[in-house]
Amino acid sequence: TPLTRKLASFSKLITLAILGLAAVTFVIGLIRGESISYMVTAAVALAVGAIPEGLPAVMTITLAIGVARMARRRTIIRRLPAVETLGSVTVICTDKTGTLTENQMTVQSAYATGRWWPIGPSPVPAAVRECLLAGVLCNDASVGSGVDHRDDNVGDPTEIALLAAAHRAAPDAVAQAVGMLRTQEIPFASELRLMATLHTTGADTAFVVVKGAVEEVVALCDMSEQEVQRVTAAAEEAGDQALRVMAFAGVGVPGDFQLALASLRATSLRFLGLQALQDPPRADALAAVAACRTAGIDVKMITGDHMRTARAIATQVGLGGDSLEVVSGGQLAEVPQSETVTKILGSHVFARVTAEQKLGIVRALQAEGHVVAMTGDGVNDAPALKQADIGIAMGQGGTDVAKETADMVLVDDDFATIEAAVEEGRTVYDNLRKFIAWTLPTNLAEGLIVLVAVILGAMLPILPIQILWINMTTALALGMMLAFEPAEPDIMTRPPRPPRQQLVTGGLLARLIVVGTAMLVGTYGVFLIAVEFGAGTSESRTIAVNALVAMEIAYLFACRSLRGSVASVGYFSNRWIWVGVAAMIALQLALTYVPVMNAVFDTAPLGGSAWLPVIAVAPLVYFVAAAVKRWDVLRGRSRSGAR
């Protein structure tokens, strides 16, 4: 994932930097005449202080918190790092049926004898009845007593809708279908875009039924050019009304007929009619698509439906705005290879596409540097789900193969859930960067304290064992609490971060240097003041340790938002911060006043006045951090204005 790749490069960089500083410290100490054993201790202390050893644990816990939050929002994460990948998504390739629409199909009308007939409880003409019968025969679903959208209906929603239409408008056709035993079939496949079944009608006779895409079914029928044009126009008329259209054909054949694609093409089928199904857009799809577009995420619909139907639904959910670009799989196949990427980038809707073309779309987007999320539910979607940076399977209608291949599963198959998951992913990454922004300056300060003492030949203001104490306690009690930060108000109005952006950016590096130096100066300052006023070595070091921890607490609040002040996210929006601060204060009081801790960590009890420099130095770091943050924000705005 993007995160694991960045962490790997970041780890190498920081390891080399720390080893280099430790080596420099060791050599300088030897040059100054210090013993080898003392310098080994000092070099180890610097390394321990500078290494952000809490990062792996915080990363895992932050991702786990993201998984838990997503589960509450009906998303199952199958691979932990996928949580963060969602936050870096720049393009979402989504299916239409069931994701942007309700997946509650209802047959609104049937086309036969040259016109559309409404489907309801009223009797229908014989030609419409024959079309409805075909929908019952070429069907793998089963329905309960109530038929329409009941829990005891089993099968594909489209096929359930075909059965429901026959039950409503032609119950005698349903009864007739019971006596027509299916003997052979050609299952539906996305590349065929049709399904065919063979049924016995007598001792030596049978009946072939075909249903599928209008173009595929009409191509198998014995029809004049004018009839094909009328049927195509009728299908396009329905498509413009956001209706999904299926065509039906059939013919009587001998009882020994062998059903296969070749035999179908050799047989002149009789066109039986069309059925137009309504599948309304989800109520929250429009808002979810708009939220993604506001967040700078491009949403592309990929569907097997007709271009007219796809365009109508895409318009209803707000895809593409006024410049909606729709391309069919056939058109995409005819585009020269040199222009394919440009066509894919400029299109918002892909209709009648194959599984292979889905995979090609994902690869083309990735080649342009995009982080792609792809939804899918079928076996044929597995390659595209595997190729995508984040594969999203449908929990309700998805196959086991799709779910096993995907990185996450939508429990409710709802596009709005994807948008919510992206928000959580962005929050996870945001919180990880907040921890890094907090831990690096504090670790740098601890390392610099040792380095400066060695360079100056001065007494260490903080001992190595005290540095170990600070690292062990603050990473858990303070830094860990940033993992619980809620999403910032503007999280979904920011553009996606550049896929190649590193964890430590220029602004973060500036903060690292300035805040780390401020903590170094503050720690050394209170230590020297304590020594100047006659405090003992152990007491002065205890003041320095408490001052450094106080500065880390103050800086923690500055890191609750990388852009705004703590007021912008709310002082009490993350109650765990206050729990961590209270725990850290209790631990420092124990370090200062419990005799066993004094003996182990070489600390000493402090009088009331000794706490004054500790309390005074902490706010200075907060304001220094706020100034650097403000400078970084203004610099970013200046660059945006220049662009």
For the annotated catalytic residues, the residue numbers are 95
Residue type, 526: V
Paired residues of 277 in beta bridges: 107, 244
| 10, 504 contact by CB (below 8 A) | yes
Are the C-beta atoms of 193 and 136 separated by less than 8 Å? no
Q: What are phi and psi of 394, to 5 degrees?
A: -85, 125
Total residue count of the chain as it appears in this document: 643
3-state secondary structure of 72: helix
CA 459 from centroid of its chain's CA atoms: 51
Tokens 């993007």 appear where?
A: 2
Give bridge partners of residue 186 from the DSSP assignment: 196
Q: For residue 164, what are its two tokens? A: 């429901």
H helices of 246-319, in order, are: 261-266, 285-294, 307-317
Question: Does residue 278 contact residue 309 with C-beta atoms inside 8 Å?
Answer: no
The answer to whether the Cα torsion of 551, 552, 556, 558 is positive or negative is: positive
Q: For residue 290, count CB atoms less than 10 angstroms from its CB and return exposed for 0-12, middle for 13-18, buried for 19 or more.
A: middle
Residue 369 tokens, joined: 């540097």
Q: Which of 335, 316, 332, 333 is nearest to 324 (CA)?
A: 316
Task: Output DSSP code: residue 322.
Answer: G
**Residue partners of 491: CB distance under 8 A and separation at least 6:** 423, 426, 427, 430
Tokens of 66: 């993201």
Taking alpha carbons only, the member of 245, 242, 264 closest to residue 253 is 264
Cβ neighbours of 314 (radius 10 Å): 26
Contacts of 400 (CB under 8 A, 6+ apart): none
Phi, psi of 306 (to 5 degrees): -65, 150
Distance CA 169, CA 70 (A): 44
- Matching residue, tokens 């194959």: 354
